[in-house]
Each structure stands twice: as structure tokens, then as C-alpha cells.
Amino acid sequence: MTPHAPEHPEGAPGREPGTPDAAGPAEYARSAESASLPVLLEAVLAVGSELELHSTLQHLVDSAADLCAARYAALGVVDPERGRLTELFTSGLTAAQRAAIPRLPDGRTGLLGALIGDPRPLLLDDVAQDPRSAGFPPGHPPMRGFLGVPIRVHTEVFGNLYLTEKRGGGPFTDEDLSLLRVLASQAGIAIGNARLYDTARRRERWIEGAAAVTTTLLAGRPAADALMCVAERARLLADATAGVVLQPTPEGGMEIVAASTHGDPGDLVGTTIAPGSAVLEQLLGGEPVFIEDSATDPRMTTRVRERFGPSMMLPLQSGGRLIGTLALPRARGGRPYDAVDRLLASQFASQAALALVLAGAQHDREQLAVYEDRDRIARDLHDLVVQRLFATEMMLESTKKRSASAASGDTVGAELGRAVDELDSTIQEVRTAIFALQQPPTDAPTTFRGRVLRETGGAAVPLGFQPSVRFAGAVDALVPESVAAELLAALRSALAAAHRRADVTSIEVEVDAVPDRVRLTVTDDGRTPAGTRGTTLTWESPL
């Protein structure tokens, strides 16, 4: 049904309130009124039996049509902020008739708009004769008689009930108007209860969602996963088409860094809001932005705005710190967000921002504990192991010299020499381990020594063991970047060649730097195609 109308204060024009449609004795009128009371009571009971809001509204439309013997009935839900209809429940229209109507009325014009602007009962014998009528769209069934009353929840107008086409062809009567007003007043109570129930259920869902997000974030998820978790959960709770998280860029704009949609969100991630945008000023200032239609709102400038309609953009901030923005757009033509949606989503965004801050602080504390533990191990290795190994090496070196004059000096000296070499090699290995422990585990190494260790560490996965690495000389100070890049390429090539040889169980890498040159030596114990074991590759470059 599309007519919209404000009520006439006393019924339809040209008809006195309380006058029956046809002349007849008062007893007939009282008899008809008494016959309607059971139907009215049944309608009131049916409307009050539901707690779910949509079911309550549909029951109300059907009951109103039965009560007044109307062929068609509708209930328009009024948005008080926009002054128009946001939902329209109908009775009497078949699926084919409803599909034939190109668009349902929004209450901006016509009798329905008039009834929104002046919410009083309205009774008309012929819609077409009223000057406020805007006509019917193509495909709409013909309608003449019209009866409309507002539905109030406390003092607020929730919506309007509309009836058209009295069965039997006659006009609606003052008795119909009275019955519908009683039903509307009782419906206001039922709708108020249903709205409270609906709000409580929605609030419960949002609270549970916020708690789930907090639990997930504090479980130690990476930063990217944490943002995705917020976007995904918010999308489901808001019944949105997409959930996206934007973060400020160094240029002063904002960029989508995480997106959750029904399909592939790849074209959303990376979308930016350019600096200077009107909506950006509000977002960077920590203000929420509510948009009725993203595709037509002049504040929206992104390339993806055409596909979305109603949207909420909520700041993710805690303690005055802006982490980013949570955007929840719905599809074009989708249901607008109401005041309850906005309130609950804003509270969720505040809770999610606090959880993100706490998760980040927890991650920092865990990282700090790891660094402190690594530093302690490195100190212990240096202070206890290296010094004792070095002292042992000196003792063996002295013993080697003293045994040189003995009869078995050559044999003893050779064995002691090998022991000294092994200790020296062990010292180098421990020093390398100390250096690796002192590097942040998640940061890319910037020193030449660290880059060599990263290459050998990466090769440990396909090889199945960790190559041994030894440095000699001040490699970080002596090797320039150009030579370092060539040496690293040679190291990768040598490690790959060693991996291709059969029966490889150990690889030794040595980097020796002196003021005028640097040498890389890679030795493995793999079997060559000729059947021999052991291969040594050497690369050298002047400095």
C-alpha cells in the first residue's frame, strides 16, 4: 500500500464522527459494536503474545485487517530522525503483487507522508479525491477507502497503521476507526515490550562479541590477525556487508588494513582515504561518522563507495590514543542503522580498542621478557663458557710448547694442536651464538654478520641441520655493502650446491676479513659424483 496521510481530526471530510454509514436504529449500531468486541479482544491477545518485534508487527497488520474487514493492511515503521518510513509490513498483497510494485513508499510524500507529519487518525472514503494524495505507482492494486491511525509507544510515534478497501465494497466506518484506535493503543504496549526484548537481545549479542574479541586478542594473536578478528566479529554483529579497519598513514590519510566480507576482500585492502577529506577530519579527530548512503554522500571519496549504502565509521581509540577506525557498511538499499545499532556498535568499538591496546602491551611485555632472557643467556655464555674455553686453550698451547722437546713431542704436539684448533673453533661458534641471541628475533638483520647468519639459518630447514659459521676479523666494519651483496649471493649458491650433494651431514662456513680482502669458505662432507667425500668452495674479493 502506498497512500500516506495525516489523520483528519474528526474522521473523514464531510462525515460526522459517530454517525453510522447508513441510517438505522441505535440498537443495530450497538449490536454491531457488541459483535466486534470478541474480534477486538482476540486481536489484542494475538498482538501481545509475541516478544520478537518483527513477528509482533506482522501479527498486528494481520489482526488489523481481520478486525476491520479490510482487504489490504500495512504498518509503516517511522524513523523519527529522518521523518520517513524505514520498514513496511503488509497484509493482503500477494508475493506477485508486491513484486510488481517497483518501490514501496518511504513516507516522504502523499497521504502516508501527511500522516507522518500530522500523526492523527484519518478516515477517507476515496483516496483519489484527497488533495494530499500522490497517486499509486505502476503495478499497485486499486484502492479507494482509507483508514489510518498512529501507533504510539509511550509518547513517541512508532509508526502508522493503514487499512484500505473494505470487504463488501462499502466505506470504513467510525466504528472501524474506534476499533483500530483501541488496537493501536494496545499494540503500542506490545511493541514497547517487544522493543525492550529486542534491544536486550541485541545488547547481549554485542557484549558477548566484545568479550570474545577481548579473549581472542589477549591470547597473543599477531597484530594483523587481531585487526581481522575485530573486523570479522563486528561485521557479523552489525549484519553488515563488510567490516573493515582503517589506520592512519604517514601522509595524513587513512588506509584499509583489514577487511572481512562475504566474498573476497582483496579489492578493499589497501583502499585509502586521501588527506583533506571531510570525513577524514572527523575520523582523525576521534568522532564517529554515520552515513545514510555511501554511494551518494559527498563526504565519501573512496573508489569502493558505489557498492555500499548505510554505513557506520567508528573510532578505535583508548586513553586518547587513536588506533584506527572500524567501518561497517551495508549494501546499497540496505536497512539503515538505528539509534540502538549506533550505540551498541560504538560501545563495541571502544571495547575492541581497549583490547587491542592491552594485547599490544602484553605482546611488548612478552617480547621484552624474551629479549631479557636472551641477553642473560648471552652474558652467561660469554662470562662462563667462552672465558673458560679460552683459558683451556691457553693451557693446551703452553703444554704443546713444553712437550716439543720430549721424545714423543711430535705426536703429542700434533694432538695438542688439534685440541687447540677445536677449542678455537668452539669459541668462534659460541661467539656466533651469542651474537645471534643478541639480535631481536623478529627484526631483519642490518649488519653483515647478521645477514650471513640469516642465510645459514634459512638453509637449515631444507638441509635438516644447522650449518656451522665462523667469523674472523672485523667483518661488520671492513666489508662494504657492494662486496657484502656479492658474498651473500656466493654463500647462497654454495649452500644450494651442498644441499644437492648426497649424504651431507655437516657444512662449515667461514668468513675471514682483513683490511685488504675478504674470503668466504664453504666446506661440506657430501659425496661428490666421483664418489669422494668433502667439497670446499672458496670466494674472495678485495676490499
User: What integer is the mean pLDDT of 482-496?
Assistant: 88
Q: How far apart are CA 223 and CA 29, in angstroms?
A: 74
341-379 per-position pLDDT tens digit = 899 999 998 888 888 887 777 667 766 766 776 676 666
3-state helix/strand/coil string of 151-177: EEECCEEEEEEEEEEECCCCCCCHHHH
User: What integer is the mean pLDDT of 195-209?
Assistant: 88
Least reliable range by pLDDT among 188-192, 261-265, 499-503:
261-265
User: What integer is the mean pLDDT of 98-103?
Assistant: 73
Pair 224, 239: CB distance under 8 Å = no
Query: Is pLDDT at 473 greater than 80 in this prediction?
Result: yes
Pair 1, 106: CB distance under 8 Å = no
Encoded amino acid at 442, one letter: T
Alpha-carbon dihedral sign for residues 495, 500, 502, 503: positive
What domains can be seen in the chain, in order of their start residue? 26-198 (3.30.450.40), 206-360 (3.30.450.40), 448-543 (3.30.565.10)
User: What integer is the mean pLDDT of 13-22?
Assistant: 39
Q: How far apart are CA 221 and CA 330, in angstroms?
A: 28
Among residues of the chain, what percentage have pLDDT more than 90? Answer: 8
- Identify the helix (H) or strand (E) that includes residue 181: helix 174-217
pLDDT recorded at residue 209: 87
**What confidence tier does 2 reach under pLDDT thresholds 50, 70, 90?**
very low
pLDDT recorded at residue 539: 92
521-543 per-position pLDDT tens digit = 999 998 887 778 888 999 999 88
pLDDT recorded at residue 507: 92
pLDDT recorded at residue 344: 92
Query: Is pLDDT at 112 greater than 90 in this prediction?
Result: no
| pTM attached to this predicted model | 0.53
* Per-residue burial over 343-354, b = 16 or more CB atoms within 10 Å of its CB, e = otherwise: ebbbebbbbbbb
Q: How far apart are CA 25 and CA 308, in angstroms?
A: 61
Query: Is pLDDT at 234 greater than 70 in this prediction?
Result: yes
Q: How far apart are CA 409 and CA 402, in angstroms?
A: 9
Query: Is pLDDT at 50 greater than 80 in this prediction?
Result: no
